[in-house]
Every structure is written in structure tokens, then in C-alpha cells.
DNA sequence: CCGAATGTGAACGCACTGTGAACCGGGAAA
DNA sequence: TTTCCCGGTTCACAGTGCGTTCACATTCGG
């Protein structure tokens, strides 16, 4: 098995020790660049990321690792009790989490279960909503059986929206979640991409993306079938 | 969302309380048969199973629920520290686990993440009062099951009022709390919005918003049951 | 019965969104 | 290197939804 990615670098000693005792190999990284530099030829086996110490860097790294062509998984996040509430809007950044400081036995059990369930491929590779299907592996989109020719940003935007059907997102939220936190650009950019998406979805399905005036955009129907 | 299956029955009080506080509905079951008997028409939304108290029964129930034609998922297992080692050979029986006794915040975060990744949807944040339901995520309102088509300000006003049922607010207070502190405009604006809200609520429910002459408006019944 | 407070309908005008097109930077091909 | 092209961003303009205001009608309290 390839080594695990570990953040931060140097890693907390008790974490390194727990991994060693459980016979996992690992390499510490300090940011995205060093992660790319020290990545094994066959890629990382997974990631263990301590968010309790440097949340900024940790979440930024998660985001970068998840955004790659082949998103890194599984990712186990170590968070402090006070950070539990922060997880809600970052569900896509990790596959499991563990309170930090941790009990070695719990930590080990989580790692084991994580590899078990991702190893068997139970994690969905598809995002589906009604007639729309996004294949996350091949980067292809299909609607009503017809392939959609989407650009990168269009695909990312649609993927994010379709992953949270029914929910309203402001332009600012979309910019930070799809374009990236550090992105600074006009909010109208979102409008234009929404428009192109609607055009490519076709007249029949353009209404999959709804405008909520003064708020933002929503994908799909509400939970009440409005 | 359908209720969660809960084992054992009666459930530990702190577990029931945690679920209630997080606004999940649930039903306690004592074994496979009672689980089948009290299963909702649309099936369980998931399961929370305490393995720390009666491991035998708990794992037997998990096995039964996983063996069905449509295996029940997600299943969250509550285990004691001493049981961590037992999980290794039972990976297929659960989707996530939590140490028991648990921290309510961690428990809630796990449930949320579990529902997110299994695609059963996150639990929407709701404001409810009698027949009225406001979904804060989707910016939609429903009364008696019928969707309300509200504009942004109407929605915000109703949200504020419904969040403080029984309380009287002056027009000035409403302007500062709903429109914004720095807002400077005529107080009659409130009247007009109240009127439109009443119209959209329908004749039957228009009285949800009461006029308190010379003071302002109140949503729902007063605290004295007048 | 009078005056103040509130309900009601309509009109105005701003701000928000849709839309077409220009701009610009990066990567591929020659 | 130069050139071309594609996709992402920005800009300008048009349409309109809706928040605000006003005038008038109605109701309520004293």
C-alpha cells in the first residue's frame, strides 16, 4: 500500500506514533505544493489531515486535494470539539473525521473502516438528479441520455449544484465553493455561467436551475415538490 | 424525512434527547420483528444502534437490517471504547460509529455527514409554526402543505415573525430587524408587506398575523392565550 | 361622532437579472 | 518563437420584478 499523506509537517508526534503502531506508512506535507512534490508515483493511499492546529491550511489543503483530476480519497480529518460546527458546510472535503486529541484505538478503527468502505468502492462515483447524470470519474455529463459538452467551470458548477439539490446558494458562496476561497472576481461571472449551463441543458431542462431573486440560484426542485 | 430506527427500546434518554434537539424524528425498536412492524411506509431514513449496552442484540439487528433486499443505510453504531476492536470483523454492518457515551455535537456532526455522503439529503433547517413551514435552505415556504410564492422581503419578514411567535413588534423594530438597522423609510412599508403576506397566507390563515392597534404586529397566539 | 390608526389599490422607480459581445490570458499547433 | 483558438471574465444595455410611496377607504377607540 502506498503511503498516507499527513498534514501538517512535522506531524504531531502522537499521530505519527499511532500510524506507525498501526503499520501505516506516511509522509508529512506542509501544503499543496509539497504534497505534489512528494507524491508517490502511484498516488497517495489516502490522507490524514489535522485541522485542529491550523484550520486554514488544513481546509485549503483538503480543497486542493479534492479538486484534482482524481480527487484524493479517503481523507480523514482530525478536528477539535469546537470545530464540529465548521464541518457542516465542508462535507465534501472529508470522508470521515475524528476528534482531536484522539484515542489511538478509535483512530485506528476509523482508518480501517474508511479503507474498507472506500476500497470496496461504495463511495458514489456518480451524481444523479432526475434526467441528469454526472460521471465524476470520466468528467462527463449526460442528460436524458444525451451527452453534454461542458467546459471545466461549467462542469464544476453543475456538479456542486447537483450535489446539493434544492438548496439556495448566493453568488458569493458559489464563487468561494466552486471557484475557490481566495478567488476575487465579479459576482456576475456566476450569472454568465448559469446562463450557459441553462443553454446547454436545453430548453426542456433549463428550469433545473432556478433563480431566487435577491438571493442566488437553486438546483432542482424543493423538497416539497414546488 | 422519514424517522430513524433506534435501538434499543426504550432508547437511552440522552440519545433520545440528542436526536430530538437535532430535530430528527425517530422510533425505538427492540428487535428485527418490531423493526419490521413499525417501519414507515417509505422505509426508515436510517438507523442509530447502541451496541454498547446489548452487543448481541445490536449486531444481530444490524445483520438483519443489512440482509434485507434493500439494505438499510446509513447505520450509525454507538460503541464503547472496549468494543472498538470488535468492529474490525463487522465492517459491513455499519456505515459510521461513534464512541458511547458521546458528545452531542460529535454525534450530530456524524449523523449529518452520514446523510450527506449517503445521499439521503441533509436535514433542512426549518422554522415551523402550526401549518406554516419555512425552509431556510431552499428559501421556500409552505402552508398546509401548499407552497407559498413569497418575494424576498416577504419571506424575510415572515421568517422573523415566525421565529418569535406571540411577540409584538413595532413597525420601527421590524424595520430595523428585517430591513436593517440603518434603514430609513416610511413605517407604512411594513403595513403593505403585512397585507401582502396575509393575502398570500390565504383567508384561512391571514389571522396568523394580528394587528395590535397603536403598537404593531404579532405572529401567532399571544403568550397569554388570548 | 370625531380623529387617529390601519387596510387597500395603484403607480413610480430602482435594483437585480438576462443577454450579447468584447476582452484577455493560456495552451496547442505550426 | 509566433499565431490561433478556446474558455473564462468582464462590460454595457435592456427588461422587469418588486419594494416603496402615496392617496383614499375603512375601522377602531374614546
Nearest nt by C1' to A180 Cα: D8
Which among A131, A168, A173 has a CA at the least distance from the CA of A148?
A: A131
Which among A56, A55, A62, A115 has a CA at the least distance from the CA of A79?
A: A55
CB A104 within 8 A of CB A114: no
Q: Which pLDDT belongs to residue B205?
A: 94
3-state secondary structure of A220: coil
CA-to-C1' span, A203 to D17 (A): 22
A176 touches strand D (CB under 7 A): no
A193 touches strand D (CB under 7 A): yes
Determine if residue B144 is left, alpha or beta; phi over 0 gives left, psi from -120 to 50 gives alpha, anything else beta: left
Q: Which pLDDT belongs to residue A120?
A: 41
- Other CB atoms within a 10 A radius of the CB of residue A75 amount to 23
Mean pLDDT (whole number) for B207-221: 92
CA-to-C1' span, A151 to D7 (A): 7
* Gyration radius (Cα) of chain A, Å: 19
Mark yes or no for CB contact B147/A117 under 8 Å: no
A192 touches strand C (CB under 7 A): yes
Q: What sign has the CA pseudo-torsion A48, A52, A57, A58?
A: positive
Closest CB to B138 among A85, A113, A167: A167
Mean pLDDT (whole number) for B136-151: 92
C-alpha cell recorded at residue B27:
422510533
CA–CA separation, B140 and A167 (whole Å): 10
Q: Which pLDDT belongs to residue A222?
A: 53
C-alpha cell recorded at residue A170:
448566493
B218 touches strand D (CB under 7 A): no
Mean pLDDT (whole number) for B5-14: 95
- Compute the nearest-CA separation of B58 from chain A (Å): 18
What DSSP character marks residue A188? H
DSSP code per residue over A142-160: EETTEEE---HHHHHHHHH
What is the dihedral angle through the alpha carbons of A165, A167, A168, A172, rounded to the nearest 10 degrees?
-80
Chain A residues within 8 angstroms (CB to CB) of chain B: 81, 84-85, 87-88, 91, 94-97, 99, 103, 105-106, 108-109, 112-113, 116-117, 123-124, 166-168, 212-215, 218, 222-224, 226
Confidence of residue B7 (pLDDT cuts 50, 70, 90): very high
A53 touches strand D (CB under 7 A): no
Confidence of residue B225 (pLDDT cuts 50, 70, 90): very low
pLDDT digits 0-9 by tens, A45-89 = 899 999 999 999 999 999 888 877 567 889 999 999 999 998 988
Q: Which pLDDT belongs to residue A166?
A: 85
CB B157 within 8 A of CB B219: no
Chain D nucleotides reached by a protein CB under 7 Å: 6-12, 17-23, 28-29
* Gyration radius (Cα) of chain B, Å: 23
Q: Which pLDDT belongs to residue A226?
A: 38
CA-to-C1' span, A195 to C26 (A): 24
Q: Which of B86, B91, B120, B200 to mutate to test binding with chain A, by most A CBs within 10 Å of its CB?
A: B91
CA–CA separation, B78 and A106 (whole Å): 12
pLDDT digits 0-9 by tens, A113-129 = 998 887 643 445 788 88
For B133, name the nearest residue in chain A, comparing CA atoms only: A224
A182 touches strand D (CB under 7 A): no
Q: Which pLDDT belongs to residue B222?
A: 59
pLDDT over 60 at A156, yes or no: yes
Closest CB to A167 among B97, B117, B137: B137
B192 touches strand D (CB under 7 A): yes
Task: Summarize chain B as % helix, strand, coil (round to 5).
Answer: 40, 20, 40
Q: Which pLDDT belongs to residue B224?
A: 53
B172 touches strand C (CB under 7 A): no
List of residues 6+ apart from B90 with CB closer than 8 A: B59, B62
CA–CA separation, A5 and A25 (whole Å): 9
The mean of the pLDDT values for chain A is: 87
Mark yes or no for CB contact B84/A91 under 8 Å: no
CA–CA separation, B135 and B162 (whole Å): 12
CA–CA separation, A116 and B89 (whole Å): 11
Q: Which pLDDT belongs to residue B155?
A: 96
CB B112 within 8 A of CB B24: no
CA-to-C1' span, B185 to D23 (A): 18
CB B143 within 8 A of CB B131: yes
Q: What sign has the CA pseudo-torsion A87, A92, A93, A98?
A: positive
CB A209 within 8 A of CB A161: yes
CA–CA separation, A22 and A106 (whole Å): 12
Q: Which pLDDT belongs to residue A225?
A: 39
- Other CB atoms within a 10 A radius of the CB of residue B77 amount to 24
Parallel, antiparallel, or unpaired for β B75-79 and B47-50?
parallel
Q: From edge to edge, which strands make up the β-sheet containing B168-170?
A: B168-170, B216-219, B209-212
Closest CB to B147 among A103, A108, A226: A226
B184 touches strand C (CB under 7 A): no
Report cis status (omega within 30 of 0) of the bond before B182.
no
pLDDT over 70 at B105, yes or no: yes
The mean of the pLDDT values for chain B is: 90
The residue that minimises its CA distance to C1' of D7 is: A151
pLDDT digits 0-9 by tens, B157-206 = 999 999 999 999 999 999 999 998 778 778 899 999 999 999 999 999 99
Q: Which residues of B touch A99 (CB under 8 A)?
A: 103, 106
Mark yes or no for CB contact A81/B138 under 8 Å: no
Q: Which residues of A touch B105 (CB under 8 A)?
A: 81, 84-85
- Of A77-81, B84-88, B165-169, B218-222, which gets the smallest average pLDDT? B218-222
Work out the end-to-end distance of chain A between its first and last CA atoms, rounded to an integer number of angstroms.
49
Q: Which pLDDT belongs to residue B201?
A: 94
Determine if residue A6 is left, alpha or beta; phi over 0 gives left, psi from -120 to 50 gives alpha, anything else beta: beta
CB A7 within 8 A of CB A79: no
Amino acid at each position: 500500500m502506498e503511503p498516507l499523506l499527513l498534514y501538517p509537517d512535522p506531524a504531531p508526534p502522537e499521530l505519527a506514533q499511532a500510524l506507525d503502531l498501526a503499520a501505516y506508512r506516511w509522509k508529512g506535507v506542509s501544503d499543496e505544493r509539497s504534497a505534489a512534490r512528494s507524491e508517490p508515483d502511484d498516488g497517495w493511499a489516502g490522507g490524514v489531515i489535522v485541522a485542529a492546529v491550523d484550520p486554514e491550511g488544513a481546509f485549503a489543503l483538503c480543497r486542493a486535494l479534492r479538486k484534482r483530476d482524481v480527487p484524493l480519497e479517503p481523507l480523514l480529518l482530525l478536528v477539535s470539539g469546537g470545530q464540529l460546527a465548521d464541518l457542516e458546510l465542508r462535507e465534501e472535503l472529508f470522508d470521515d473525521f475524528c476528534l482531536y486529541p484522539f484515542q489511538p484505538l478509535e483512530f485506528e478503527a476509523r482508518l480501517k473502516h474508511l479503507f474498507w468502505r472506500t476500497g470496496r468502492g461504495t463511495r458514489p462515483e456518480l451524481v444523479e438528479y432526475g434526467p441528469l447524470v454526472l460521471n465524476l470519474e470520466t468528467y462527463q455529463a449526460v442528460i436524458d441520455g444525451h451527452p453534454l459538452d461542458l467546459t471545466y467551470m461549467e462542469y464544476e458548477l453543475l456538479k456542486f449544484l447537483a450535489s446539493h439539490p434544492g438548496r439556495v446558494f448566493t453568488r458569493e458562496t458559489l464563487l468561494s465553493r466552486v471557484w475557490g476561497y481566495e478567488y476575487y472576481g465579479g459576482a456576475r461571472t456566476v450569472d454568465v455561467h448559469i446562463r450557459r449551463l441553462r443553454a446547454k441543458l436545453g430548453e426542456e431542462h433549463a428550469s433545473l436551475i432556478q433563480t431566487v431573486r435577491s438571493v442566488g440560484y437553486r438546483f432542482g426542485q424543493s423538497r416539497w415538490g414546488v
